[in-house]
Structure 1
Amino acid sequence: MTRLPVCGPEGPLRATPPVHDPVPVRAVLFDFGGTLLQMASYEDRIRAALGRPVAEVDMAELLDGLEAGLAHPAVVEAQRGRDVSSEAHRHAFTTWYASVPALAPYAGALYAQLRSPGHWVPYADTAATLARLTDAGIALGVVSDVGWDLRETFAHHGLDGHFSAWVHSYAYDTEKPDPRLFEQACREVRADPGETLMVGDHPAKDGGAAGAGLRSYVLPAGAAPGGHRGLDAVLRLVGVTEA
């Protein structure tokens, strides 16, 4: 175990050990939703599920209902352990959708959209970033808290060929930041944790990769579906020059 320097009123009691250059990054692991792809807007999804136009005032009411539903006790309870199995994942989302009475008959259709590749939108800088990393010889993997296999979604958008590891939480009966998920992905990309960077959008879950010995980078919030996600920062962290 590395001993941290103890500081007295005048500074460290022992000499600070020399700082060595970091080990180069050989692999990057990515989260899925909110990191590389994002769902289409709820407005578009609701119209598709209902199969008809929805007036602006009615849409606002439905969206307000979904927002309020997040605080409903049954919805809150359904979110516990949401990503540890396919069944728990479906239950969590359909319970939320059904908390809005007008959407309850369409809860199954709304959930089916989650698993439909066409309802996911890659960010504008996703494809180029993955291509640059691949061209630089960086091994890539996906580590996601999710209830289904993501490979079809990535394939639909022509992105699956970049990845050599697919670690889905539901297949391991656990969720991030469980070290087992990150360790499994490191084995699959054939890189040590200290040579691997985890990129995501959740400070506790994706940032928690540091507990397994990985480096981590948490993207700032706020990117719209199809917009730029700021993935150029990953290229700089890895030391890959932008094209």
Structure 2
Amino acid sequence: MRALFDLTAAYEPTPEQRRDPVPPVEAVLFDFSNTLFHMVDTADWLRAVGGTTGREVPVAGTLDELAVAAALPEVAAAQQGRDLSDDAHRAAMRAWFSRVPVLRGVEDTAVDLLRAADAWVPYPDTADVLAALAERGVRVGVVSDIGWDIRVHARAAGVEHLVGTWVLSCELGVEKPDPAMFTTACAALDVDPRATVMVGDNPGRDGGAVAVGCRVFLLPSEFRLGERGLGAVLSLLD
């Protein structure tokens, strides 16, 4: 009868674990995009493309053209699985940017600038929260659906040393909510998933961590520039 009501899980706690108190938090896993870091303003990225290629890039019009191109069926189809590898991501971006006249012919430059070290920046509270976790001896990992090596952005921001492991879909070959994304991170940190919190902004993807025994803390799905509200994670440790 119990099986009729339980959700499918990728782990099975022992009878003792079911009776014992929930273990204290020993590790926190973070999503990257729109959780720890955000992309610089798209207009600034387009200006960088124009400056690098010598092309005149009308920002407002190009933003509109990007939105129209993104809705094209063939472009939308090309985005499926784009974060499974570096090549897949670049191909997906080429398919999109090639439909925008001013970006046609310079697609790879546009992708390179999208991935530039300073193209993604941490939220104002990212470094403080990561440092606070380190001071408390809490292990930290990043679990991200992403098409390139995002360690470069953390390195540029001076926070790479505060992250113990990076589990990236483009390196593992699967995307969240695949259990392997979370179990790989927990194994790398040598921590029980039941003593781990996953922090993100996507219920369907980041929320998949519950299937391996992690707790999940979800932030509002909104694009922010000010503090992300990461300080609330620290209260989960008490």
- Any idea what SS the aligned residue of 1:203 has? coil
- Any idea what SS the aligned residue of 1:204 has? coil
- Any idea what SS the aligned residue of 1:105 has? coil
- TM-score by structure 2 length? 0.87
* Preserved contact between residue 50 and residue 106 of structure 1 (Cα < 8 Å): no
Question: How many residues matched?
Answer: 225
What is the identity, as a one-letter code, of the residue corresponding to 2:145?
Answer: D
Give, in whole Å, the separation in 1 of the partners of 2:19 and 2:231: 27
Give, in whole Å, the separation in 2 of the partners of 1:3 and 1:217: 26
What is the identity, as a one-letter code, of the residue corresponding to 1:233?
Answer: A
What is the identity, as a one-letter code, of the residue corresponding to 1:60?
Answer: A
Give unpaired runs (5+ residues) of structure 1. 6-17
* Preserved contact between residue 166 and residue 185 of structure 1 (Cα < 8 Å): yes
What is the identity, as a one-letter code, of the residue corresponding to 1:236?
Answer: S
Alignment match, 1:230: 229
- Any idea what SS the aligned residue of 2:133 has? helix
Instruction: Measure how far apart 1:114 and its partner are.
Output: 2.7
The 5-angstrom pairing of residues 149-188 of structure 1 reads: 149-188=149-188
- TM-score by structure 1 length? 0.85
* Preserved contact between residue 81 and residue 88 of structure 2 (Cα < 8 Å): yes
Q: Percent identity?
A: 43
Partner deviation per Cα, 1:171-207 (whole Å, 9 max, x = no partner): 1211111101100100011111101111112111111
* Rg (Cα) greater in structure: 1
Are positions 1:104 and 2:104 aligned together? Answer: yes
Instruction: Measure how far apart 1:99 and its partner are.
Output: 1.9
Give, in whole Å, the separation in 2 of the partners of 1:32 and 1:160: 12
Partner deviation per Cα, 1:18-71 (whole Å, 9 max, x = no partner): 98643211000111111111111110000110117968xx42221111112221
* Preserved contact between residue 28 and residue 198 of structure 1 (Cα < 8 Å): yes
Give, in whole Å, the separation in 2 of the partners of 1:209 and 1:176: 8
What is the identity, as a one-letter code, of the residue corresponding to 1:160?
Answer: E
Q: CA RMSD in A?
A: 2.3
Alignment match, 1:24: 24
- Any idea what SS the aligned residue of 1:230 has? coil
Alignment match, 2:93: 93
Partner deviation per Cα, 1:110-163 (whole Å, 9 max, x = no partner): 211232111111100000010111101100011111122222221111101111
Give unpaired runs (5+ residues) of structure 2. 6-17
Alignment match, 1:192: 192
